[in-house]
């Protein structure tokens, strides 16, 4: 796991935290055994509330305004998720439709 190497002194710095949500013993029996063997972890991104060192427990404020706690793991994290290898035409249409709506709303002003 990539870790932050230096003290983050800037309150409001964009960071990532992680927190164990469930220990393996707390996980349901309705999931595959290999999944039950590992803890359920939460990772969240947000703005650092106070100066912190890597690995310290910190509070962050998320983009939705929630204040949550966890262990500081990254500074300036990126989004690296995707929608898989398969092309999804609906996602392409969303961008086109959104631009049309924005242009229409802009013209009405």
pLDDT attached to residue 5 = 55
pLDDT attached to residue 7 = 76
At 31-48, the pLDDT tens digits run 999 999 999 999 999 999
Q: What share of the chain is helix, strand, coil (3-state, %, to 5)?
A: 25, 30, 45
Query: Mean pLDDT per segment of 10 residues, for the chain of length 109 residues?
Result: 61 94 94 94 95 92 95 90 80 86 82
Q: What is the DSSP string of 27-57?
A: S-TTS-HHHHTS-EEEEEEEEESS-B-TT-E
Grouping H, G, I as helix, E, B as strand and the rest as coil, residue 2 is: coil
């Amino acid at each position: 796991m990539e870790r932050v190497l230096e003290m983050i002194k800037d309150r409001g710095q964009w960071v990532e935290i992680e927190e164990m949500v469930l220990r393996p013993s707390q996980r349901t029996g309705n999931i595959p055994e290999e999944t039950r063997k590992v803890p359920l972890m939460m990772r969240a991104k947000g703005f650092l509330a106070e100066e912190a060192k890597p690995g310290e427990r910190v509070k962050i404020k998320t983009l939705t305004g929630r204040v949550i706690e966890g262990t500081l793991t990254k500074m300036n994290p990126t989004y690296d998720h995707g929608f898989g290898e398969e092309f999804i035409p609906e996602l392409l249409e969303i961008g086109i439709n959104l631009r049309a709506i924005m242009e229409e709303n802009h013209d009405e002003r």
